[in-house]
Amino acid sequence: MNHFTTLTDAVEAAEEGLVEADKKITEQADSPAKQEAQKNIKSARNVLAQLKATQPAWSSAIRGTIGAIASNGAMAEVAGPSLDSLSNGIQNAEAETKRVREVTSHMSSADLGCHQLAVVSEVFKTISALLNVQRSIFSSLVALSKDLVSDVAANTAKQSGQGPAFAFASSQVVKNLPAIEDTAKLAGNAYGMMADLGGFITDRFFATYCEQFVGPVSAVMAADFLWPTKDDLVPYWSYHYQITGRMILYYPKSAKGDSVHLKGRIEGYAHGFTTWEDSLTVQFPKLMAGAIQTKKYWPPVEIGAGAAKVASQGESEGVSPISPYVEGSAVGLAAPNSFLINVDGVLEKDSLSIVVGDVVSDFKAKHRVGVLILSPLTGGLGPQYTWYELPFLGARHVFTRGIGDHALKLNLQTLGKRMVAEGEFPHQIDKGASKAEYMIKIKVCNPGC
C-alpha cells in the first residue's frame, strides 16, 4: 500500500465507522443526549467529507514535495530522518485503519443494548486514535517542508556545491506547502472534533442508557517447576509476575429483578516479571558435569508497574469507563504484555458474580536464555552455544485456573449513592512437578472507583 492510498484509506475507514455508529445511535430511545450526539456526528461527517474532497489537492502536494526531495541529493540528506519518521507514521496509520474496520465490524455483531453501545464508544475512540495519527503525519510534513526551505538547509546546499539545484527543489516545496498546511489544519479539526465526540459518547450518552461498574483489578502469579530425578523432584525453573488492570461491567438502566445480567471486560497489563532457572544443569546432569555455563538473559519487555496503573486505571477516581487501553486502539493492543478478556456478570442483592469469557487479546511473554557452554565432554569442538525460551502463562489462565475455574463472587454493599463490590481470591495448585500460587483482588463500583 503506498502512502497516498494509506492516507485516503484512513479517511474512508473513519467515515465508514462514523456512519455505522450513527445508525446504532439512531436506534436508541429519544433523549437530549441522543439529539446532541446526532448533531455532533453530522458536524464530524462534514469535516471528514471535506478531508476526503481535498484528497486530490493534498495528494498532489505530497507527491510534489517527495519528488522535490528525491531530485536533490542535499535535500534528501537533510530530509532523511524526517522521512523515516513519516514512514513509521504511515505504518501506524495502516494499523489504526485496520483496527477501526475490525471494531466497526464487531459493532454490527455485538449484542443489543449496553454491550453494543460499549462497542459504539470504542468505535469513536478508535476513529479518534486514527485521526490523531493522520493529523501527526500532515503536521510532520509541514514541519519537514519548512525545515527544507530554511536558511540553514540552503547554506548547507551551497557549501556542497548544489545551491542552484537546491533552490529549484526548494521552490517546489514552497509551492506545495500551502495545500499541506491547509490539510494539516483540517486533519487537526477532524481529530479534535472526534476526540470531543468520543468523550461525549463514552460518558454522557452511554450513561443516559446504561449503568456500569468500574474499578481496579490486580493479580499475582508465582509458579515453580520441578524435574523428576531418580531420588527426588528438583527445582529447575520458577517465575513470578503481576497484573494491573481494571474491570468494566455494564447493564441497562431499565434492568429490573432480583438477578441482573451484565457484560464487560477485564483489561490491563502484565509486569514485574522475574525468573530463576537452572534448566540445563537439572535436566542434563551428565552432559553438564564439569561444564562452565555463561548465560545471558532476555526478560520480557514491559511497561512497568506505574505505567500499567496509569494506562489501565487512570490517575484518579472517576476516570472514563473506556480506558486508554481501548482508546489507544491498535497502539494499545500492541503495548507490551497487554490483554483484554470478555466477562459476564450477575448482579444480585448482596453479590456480584463474574464469569471469565473469551479472550480478545492476551500476552505471550517469554524469558529467553542464551548459554555459552565450556565442557570437557566436547573435546576439541570448543565452546558450544545454545538458547531456549521459558514461557509465562497468560492473563486468562490467572483469572480462570487462578480461582479453581469457579466464578469470581464479589461481596456487594451500598455505601451512600455508590454500590461497591469487592473480593480477594487466593488460590494454590500443587501437581507435584508444577506448583502455583495466585492472588486476585477486584474492586468495582457504580459510579466507578
Compute the mean pLDDT over every residue in the chain, rounded to the nearest whole number: 84
Average pLDDT over residues 53-67: 86
pLDDT at 98 > cutoff 80: yes
In 141-259 the beta strands, taken as DSSP E runs, fall at 210-228, 233-252
Rounded Cα distance between 172 and 176, Å, is 6
pLDDT in tens, 377-408: 776 677 889 999 999 999 999 999 988 878 89
pLDDT of residue 327: 41
Please give the pLDDT value at position 319. 44
SS3 of residue 410 by DSSP: strand
Q: Which helix (H) or strand (E) holds 311?
A: helix 305-313
What average pLDDT does this structure show over 263-280? Answer: 93
Residue range 41-61: average pLDDT? 89
Q: What share of the chain is helix, strand, coil (3-state, %, to 5)?
A: 50, 30, 20
Q: What is the pLDDT of residues 422-446, one digit of tens each?
A: 999 999 999 999 999 999 999 999 9
| pTM, entire model | 0.75
Of the two residues 361 and 1, the one the predictor is more confident about is: 361
Coil, helix or strand for 428? strand
Q: pLDDT exceeding 70 applies to what percent of the chain?
A: 87
Question: What 8-state DSSP symbol labels residue 317?
Answer: T
The DSSP bridge pattern shows strands 338-347 and 292-298 to be unpaired
For 356-392, the DSSP string reads EEEEEE----EEEEEEEEE-GGGGGG--EEEEEEEEP
What are the pLDDT digits (tens) for 227-252? 998 889 999 999 999 999 989 999 99
The pLDDT of residue 60 is above 50: yes
328 pLDDT band, cuts 50/70/90, is very low
154: pLDDT confidence band, cut at 50, 70 and 90?
A: low
345-372 residue pLDDT tens: 999 999 999 999 999 889 999 999 999 9
DSSP type of residue 447: S
Q: Model confidence over 167-202: pLDDT tens digits?
A: 777 788 888 888 888 988 988 898 888 888 888 888
Q: For residue 106, what pLDDT is reported?
A: 81
